[in-house]
Chains A and B, each alone.
Chain A
Amino acid sequence: MVKEIERAGIPVVHVCTVTPISMTVGANRIVPAIAIPHPLGNPALTPEEEYNLRKKIVNRALEALTTEVKDQTIFEV
């Protein structure tokens, strides 16, 4: 799906846990997430800590969108 969005001319960032699959699929901007059932959260944290963690990941995703890339790139959080 990321590839089709990219093909339509819209920059897209893929936030996902299993980044090798994202590479296979052909995403160009990739941000690693926390875990499969909760990519942008962590139920073990307090609600406030969890929100901050999510903010950090989304922030990284936005950084990825504003960064020029030539090839598939993983933006570590």
Chain B
Amino acid sequence: MSYRVVHYINQFFAQIGGEEMAHIAPELREGAVGPGTAFDAAWNGEAKIVNTIICGDSHFAEHEKESKAQILAWVKEINPDLFIAGPAFNAGRYGYACANIALAVKEELGIPVLTGMYEENPGADLKDKVLIVATTNNAAGMRKAAPTMAKLAMKLMKGEKLGASCEDGYMNNGIRVNFFEKERGSRRAVKMLLNKLADKPFTTEYPMPSFDRVAPNPAVKDLSHAVVALCTSGGIVPKGNPDHIESSSASHYGEYCIAGVENLTPDKYETAHGGYDPVYANEDPDRVLPVDVMREFEREGKIGKLHDYFYTTVGNGTAVANAKKFAAEYAQKLKQAGVNAVIMTST
């Protein structure tokens, strides 16, 4: 008898469609679909995907409660030996869905779960709560991810003891296990120090936690005299995308003058974002960057002034380090221009 597995994937990996199909509700299918066949092959008959659950990424994000309830009901009825989700690589909503549905299955049904994604995926925030295999940031890494996930999945199904995160390929989940090292501490410490002095690579045994949080700034006192700027990760650009901001993994941001622009019309503006269905944003770009409303508030005197420039990029698989760099740079420009507050919109 082989172990029974349920696999969760999104509309893209089910080959239903891209962003235009991201709204689809959960669907239950028999057997393996898409990446599931790679797991089945790796398990070689010892385990098998009995059902695949497919859900659109936007649907899960926008109807999380309903999606979870439906998926949990199916998984409960199937009662598999393991629930596996993804891998999601660097797809943000997909990773978020994988980690959250896996956590729900684990907590509500007590079934072992496993997922996989890139370390910067927002879903990886749950790595302390669900087992997440670290993958590359795009689907080209499937060949490497599938065997690692399959092997770890098998350990979970057999109830075997897991190795350390660096041995079994999952993200560090904060659990410490006692064991005897081959060399004593003083020797290891001296070795590490010698490597450090020689500029050679070394691995600390006690990484410091990094809490990158910025304390909130004081509130704006008098909005009626404040200059407010609009920024977005939703990819709104002048029609034709003059600076060629990439539709994913953006390498730069755009700075565009909107002095005298009353409202963003579809003949002059559009979105460059490749990570959501662009139809609605292209029909009326104010749906992402609300210039029309800000102008009304400016006329009414509710705000002092809408800043003459907006800053924009595409937040789609964009490296955190890049996003950080973009905003650090334009924040200085905003500051020099005397901007008092910023509204950032995200899709």
Contact = CB atoms under 8 A, between A and B. Distances in A.
B106 to A, nearest CB: 18
Contact of A10 (B288, B323, B331, B346): B331
A10 B219 contact: no
Contacts of A43: 280, 283, 287
Interface string B292-324: 111011000011000000000101000000011
Interface string A40-64: 1101000000110011011101100
Interface residues of A, number: 52
B297 A12 contact: no
A71 B214 CA distance: 10
> What is the interface residue range for chain B against chain A?
35 or more
Contacts of B340: 10-11
Interface stretch (B81-89, B183-191, B271-279): B271-279
B103 to A, nearest CB: 12
B58 A37 contact: yes
B223 A65 contact: yes
B335 A10 contact: yes
A5 B219 contact: no
Contact of A39 (B212, B294, B341, B346): B346
Interface of B: 19, 22, 58, 61-62, 92-93, 96, 122, 125, 212-221, 223, 228, 231, 233-234, 276-281, 283-284, 286-288, 290, 292-294, 296-297, 302-303, 313, 315, 323-324, 326-328, 331-332, 334-335, 339-347
